[in-house]
């Protein structure tokens, strides 16, 4: 059974906060991926942070245990016609306003505490989209299983960049069930 971090405070940020939260996003990433910082793709993370946070509809939640940031989730509305599920879901869903969940990460000390699920839900509960889509490395089946337990289903596979991992495209219907 998961024990929730009762002191987890979740704060919501937008594109306007990008500069203020940038270092926090990088610091949490450095801790969450401490064992993979020599990976060339992982080293590109600052570029991705700036890319996503520059989106006018960027939305981010950061969880804090006291003053300590423990993890976050962020993403942005998908551009119509460019949704990650497109070409994988046939026929295309009738209700197709889509939120792309770009990142979910929790620092090792706060894993298995329920913090990840709370952050995920905190971000998506404030969306008015029909679908949430995320990409998960196909070599991480336990992470895929975690998302399946949160109602995501695999729609296909994609490799967005030549040097990126091969990802499973995971789709969930919004709003998430209670």
The binding site for ligand COA (CB under 6 A) comprises 32, 104-106, 111-112, 116-117, 134, 136, 140, 142-143, 146
| Residue number with CB closer to ligand COA (18 or 136) | 136
- Nearest approach in angstroms of CB 39 to ligand COA is 11
- Nearest approach in angstroms of CB 66 to ligand COA is 19
**What whole-number distance in Å separates Cα of residue 46 and Cα of residue 157?**
25
| Residue number with CB closer to ligand COA (4 or 80) | 4
| 3-state per-residue secondary structure call for 73-102 | EEEEECCCCCCCCCCCCCCCCCCCCEEEEE
DSSP code, position 178: -
| Residue number with CB closer to ligand COA (7 or 80) | 7
- Nearest approach in angstroms of CB 28 to ligand COA is 9
- Nearest approach in angstroms of CB 25 to ligand COA is 13
Which of 142, 120, 140, 36 minimizes the C-alpha distance to 75? 120
Q: Look up residue 86 and give its two tokens.
A: 């497109």
Which of 62, 65, 69 minimizes the C-alpha distance to 123? 62
Contact call for residues 96 and 130 (beta carbons, < 8 A): yes
| Residue number with CB closer to ligand COA (12 or 81) | 12
| Residue number with CB closer to ligand COA (95 or 164) | 164
Contact call for residues 150 and 118 (beta carbons, < 8 A): no
- Nearest approach in angstroms of CB 163 to ligand COA is 17
Q: Compute CA distances 53 → 72, 103, 111, whole Å.
A: 13, 12, 25
């Amino acid at each position: 059974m998961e024990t929730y971090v009762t002191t987890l405070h979740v704060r919501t940020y937008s594109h306007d906060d990008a500069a203020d939260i940038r270092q926090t996003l990088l610091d949490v990433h450095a801790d969450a991926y401490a064992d993979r910082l020599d990976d060339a793709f992982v080293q590109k993370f600052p570029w991705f942070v700036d890319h996503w946070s520059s989106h006018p509809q960027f939305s981010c939640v950061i969880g804090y245990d006291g003053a300590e940031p423990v993890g976050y989730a962020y993403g942005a509305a998908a551009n119509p016609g460019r949704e990650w599920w497109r070409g994988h879901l046939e026929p295309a869903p009738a209700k197709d306003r889509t939120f792309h969940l770009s990142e979910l990460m929790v620092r090792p000390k706060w894993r298995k505490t329920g913090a990840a699920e709370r952050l995920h839900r905190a971000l998506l509960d404030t969306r008015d989209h029909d679908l949430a889509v995320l990409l998960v490395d196909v070599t991480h089946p336990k992470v895929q299983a975690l998302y399946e337990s949160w109602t995501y289903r695999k729609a296909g596979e994609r490799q967005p960049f030549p040097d990126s991992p091969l990802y499973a495209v995971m789709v969930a219907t919004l709003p998430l069930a209670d």
